[in-house]
């Protein structure tokens, strides 16, 4: 007769298996086949569509860049030719007048003839600019009235502002010539100012020539892309969008302008976003100190790609529909032989294992039927094995719970001490143990590590715990009972040997703290040397407590344990641990190591004892993440206090 918890587990597991099988049967093989065929076709179509669309998109982007670059260079060429020609004309006009001498009529006639004999400037002015006094004196001006009338403008409307000239004196002196957007009149006009910088110190003033030119031809030729011409400060000199052109805005924050300004090359192209819109843009830096930008909206440039995508989607849906019809026809003939097998599996789910399928098929379905018959026999065997395994796991769970009672609480506190600890086994039960008990003015601290881990080692830890329970009782009842660490190890050795008969050994460390004498007397049976952090002001000095001694359980009688004594003071920290902390390895085979453990503990110790133990345990578990522990891990740290 099985235990009640095993029967309950089997009944619960059987109900769950039946429920899971019934849920799986809701999706038939035909449906899976249909889904598989459609999915495969969908993936193929999707791959082909995406590949084609990607290639077309990249080709369209490249074509747009090339078109923009070509248009930007052509506009730059026309703009450079126009402005260079105007600058030469202005320079020639200035050469006819010398402000250091009285301006004669012949000089003015020569100045005016320069304007009349060229076809670019519709109005030209000559002024004297005194930079220090901030004054401007107009000498003469000449307009091509026919060209002005063609633009529906008046000569007075084209007069260049003295204030604008005075506000740009530093730039004019630095560069000698400047360009200004003069389109506020609703016409595409450009003002070009040329200064005779060599005469900036002339008492009469520095000669300045101003020419107004029309950019209507340039505006008519820029149709393919949105074109912008701006000076190096970002002020628009020309834009194919009249709203931007006539508003005289600054595009210094435009990403394309910023890239063009900082680029080491005079031309380039890029995709960028600006004001929640995405663009393809190209740029060209003209030798006359302006930047030509050509931009095309992303959606407009890739409109053909989007249209092709819609057609591909429609074609793909048609292909998927055809695949569904084919899959339904094909799956109907395939599923029929499997119906009997499906019904048999339902019988299995209800506990009927006496089925014997008779299939004459020689294909995979026939092999599956034979395998099903064999499976029916094997299931009975597996159920029995599962019962035994469940029983063992239940017993181990109980053993793990019992073993936890052998350990002190994680945090303990007495009059002269405070203890913080951590323990975790490598499996359900472990071979580590630590403990303590008080006897009058003394505190006895122990830590032990049995060879290996698991259930056999856990039994030895129970023997060690029982031995020290007896020792605690003897020390309480008999005042003359010796609490010498050496004697305590001898008692423990006899208990371990009688329990394991030399098959399992145990390393052991015993420390006896005398709070009146302020001493720690200790002995070791092959255990890792504990750490004593001796407090010196705000710092700690580490002293490993090493003592020689043979492991417990190797011989029935063993008294050869070295006993040592060390002074202690308030604030000293005594740390017990097992080798699972230092020798634990991560997934890469790297050991945690003593150096790393000390560093983590000492860092946490700056906050407090509990933080130090918690930091070391958490860091170690994180280091070991992804794998089972190599060995049991035990850490127990004690802080001494209240000693007078």
pLDDT of residue 22: 47
Q: Please give the Cα distance from 255 to 460 (Å, whole number).
A: 75
Q: Please give the Cα distance from 616 to 599 (Å, whole number).
A: 9
Q: Bigger pLDDT: 337 or 128?
A: 128
Q: Is the pLDDT of residue 553 over 70?
A: yes
pLDDT (tens digit per residue) in 392-405: 555 555 555 555 66
Helix 339-349 / helix 4-24 crossing angle, nearest 10 deg: 160
Residue 184: burial class (beta carbons within 10 Å; 0-12, 13-18, 19+): exposed
Query: Is residue 266 a contact partner of residue 285, using CB atoms and an 8 Å limit?
Result: yes
pLDDT of residue 200: 83
Buried b (16+ CB within 10 A) or exposed e, 23-34: eeeeeeebeebb
Query: Is residue 260 a contact partner of residue 47, using CB atoms and an 8 Å limit?
Result: no
Buried b (16+ CB within 10 A) or exposed e, 381-403: eeeeeebeebeeeeebeebbeeb
Task: Count the alpha carbons within 13 Å of 410 in the hemisphere toward its beta carbon.
Answer: 9
The DSSP 8-state label assigned to residue 415 in this structure reads: S
pLDDT (tens digit per residue) in 406-461: 789 999 999 999 999 999 888 777 788 899 999 989 999 999 998 876 677 778 88
Cα separations in angstroms, 102 against 107, 139, 202 = 10, 11, 14
- Tell me what the mean pLDDT of segment 579-596 comes to: 92
pLDDT of residue 9: 42
Largest CA distance in the chain: 137
Long-range contacts of 173-178 (CB under 8 A, 24+ apart): 173/131, 173/197, 173/200, 175/289, 177/87, 177/90, 178/231
* E runs forming strands in 323-393: none
- Tell me what the mean pLDDT of segment 557-567 comes to: 92
* E runs forming strands in 287-409: 290-297
pLDDT (tens digit per residue) in 284-314: 888 888 998 988 888 877 787 777 777 777 8
pLDDT of residue 77: 87
pLDDT of residue 336: 64
- Tell me what the mean pLDDT of segment 50-62 comes to: 80
Q: Which of 259-263, 310-314, 528-532 has the highest mean pLDDT?
A: 528-532
- Tell me what the mean pLDDT of segment 94-102 comes to: 71
pLDDT of residue 593: 93
Q: Pick the closest to residue 208 from 109, 136, 297, 298 (CA basis).
A: 136
Residue 380: burial class (beta carbons within 10 Å; 0-12, 13-18, 19+): exposed
Q: Calculate ∠ Cα 472-473-476, nearest 5°.
A: 90
Q: Bigger pLDDT: 183 or 606?
A: 606
What SS3 class is residue 176? coil
What SS3 class is residue 280? strand
User: Any residues with CB less than 8 A from the CB of 241 and at least 6 apart, and which?
Assistant: 226
Q: Which domains does the chain have, with CATH numbers?
A: 4-25+338-399 (no CATH), 58-303 (3.30.450.20), 408-640 (3.60.40.10)
Query: Is residue 358 a contact partner of residue 372, using CB atoms and an 8 Å limit?
Result: no
pLDDT band at 16 (very low <50, low <70, confident <90, very high): very low
Which of these ranges, 140-154, 200-214, 222-236, 437-451, has the smallest mean pLDDT? 140-154
Cα separations in angstroms, 640 against 40, 369, 418, 511, 524 = 71, 73, 7, 13, 21
What SS3 class is residue 409? coil
Q: Please give the Cα distance from 451 to 284 (Å, whole number).
A: 79
The residue behind tokens 């409307």 is 157
């Amino acid at each position: 007769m099985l235990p009640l918890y095993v029967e309950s587990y089997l009944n619960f597991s059987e109900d769950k298996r039946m429920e899971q099988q019934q849920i799986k049967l809701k999706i038939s093989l035909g449906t899976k086949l249909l889904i598989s065929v459609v999915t495969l076709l969908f993936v193929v179509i999707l791959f082909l569509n995406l590949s084609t669309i990607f290639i077309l998109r990249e080709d369209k982007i490249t074509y747009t860049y090339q078109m923009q670059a070509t248009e930007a260079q052509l506009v730059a060429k026309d703009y450079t030719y126009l402005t260079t020609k105007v600058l030469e004309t202005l320079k020639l006009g200035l050469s006819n007048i010398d402000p250091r001498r009285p301006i004669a009529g012949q000089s003015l006639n020569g100045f005016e003839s320069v304007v009349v004999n060229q076809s670019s400037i519709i109005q030209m002015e000559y002024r004297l600019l005194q930079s220090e006094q901030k004054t401007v004196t107009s000498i003469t001006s000449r307009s091509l009235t026919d060209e002005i009338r063609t633009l529906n403008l008046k000569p007075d409307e084209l007069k260049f502002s003295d204030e604008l000239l005075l506000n740009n004196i530093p730039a004019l002196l630095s560069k000698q010539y400047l360009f200004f957007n003069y389109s506020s009149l609703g016409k595409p006009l450009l003002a070009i100012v040329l200064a005779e910088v060599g005469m900036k110190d002339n008492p009469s003033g520095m000669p300045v020539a101003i020419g107004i030119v029309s950019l209507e031809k340039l505006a008519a030729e820029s149709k393919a892309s949105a074109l912008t011409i701006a000076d190096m400060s970002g002020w628009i000199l020309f834009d194919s969008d009249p709203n931007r052109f006539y508003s005289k805005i600054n595009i210094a924050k435009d990403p394309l302008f910023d890239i063009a300004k900082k680029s080491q090359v005079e031309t380039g192209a890029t995709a960028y976003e600006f004001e929640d819109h995405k663009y393809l843009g190209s740029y060209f830096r003209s030798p006359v100190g302006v930047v030509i930008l050509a931009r095309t909206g992303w959606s407009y440039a890739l409109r053909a790609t989007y249209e092709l995508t819609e057609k591909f989607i429609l074609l793909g849906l048609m292909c998927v529909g055809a695949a569904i019809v084919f899959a339904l026809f094909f799956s109907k003939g395939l599923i029929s032989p499997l119906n009997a097998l499906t019904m048999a599996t339902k019988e299995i789910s209800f506990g009927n294992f006496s089925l014997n399928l008779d299939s004459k098929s020689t294909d995979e379905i026939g092999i599956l039927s034979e395998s099903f018959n064999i499976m029916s026999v094997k299931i009975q065997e597996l159920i029995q094995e599962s019962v035994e395994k469940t029983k063992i796991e239940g017993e181990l769970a109980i053993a793990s719970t019992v073993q936890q009672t052998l350990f002190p609480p994680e945090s303990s506190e007495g009059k002269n001490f405070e203890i913080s600890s951590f323990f975790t086994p490598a499996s359900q039960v472990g071979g580590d143990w630590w403990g303590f008990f008080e006897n009058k003015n003394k505190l006895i601290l122990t830590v032990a590590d049995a060879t290996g881990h698991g259930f056999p080692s856990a039994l030895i830890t129970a023997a060690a715990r029982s031995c020290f329970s007896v020792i605690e009782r003897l020390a309480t009842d008999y005042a003359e009972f010796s609490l010498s660490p050496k004697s305590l190890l001898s008692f423990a050795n006899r208990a371990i040997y009688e329990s394991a008969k030399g098959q399992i050994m145990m390393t052991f460390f015993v420390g006896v703290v005398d709070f009146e004498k302020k001493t720690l007397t200790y002995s070791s049976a092959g255990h890792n040397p504990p750490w004593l952090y001796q407090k010196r002001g705000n710092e700690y000095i580490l002293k490993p407590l090493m003592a020689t001694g043979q492991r417990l359980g190797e011989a029935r009688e063993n008294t050869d344990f070295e006993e040592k004594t060390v002074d202690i003071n308030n604030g000293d920290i005594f740390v017990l641990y097992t080798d699972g902390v230092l020798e634990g390895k991560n997934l890469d085979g790297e050991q945690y190591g003593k150096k790393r453990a000390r560093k983590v503990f000492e860092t946490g110790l700056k906050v407090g004892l509990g933080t130090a133990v918690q930091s070391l345990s958490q860091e170690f578990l994180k280091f070991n993440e992804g794998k089972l522990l190599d060995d049991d891990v035990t850490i127990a740290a004690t802080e001494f206090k209240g000693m007078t």
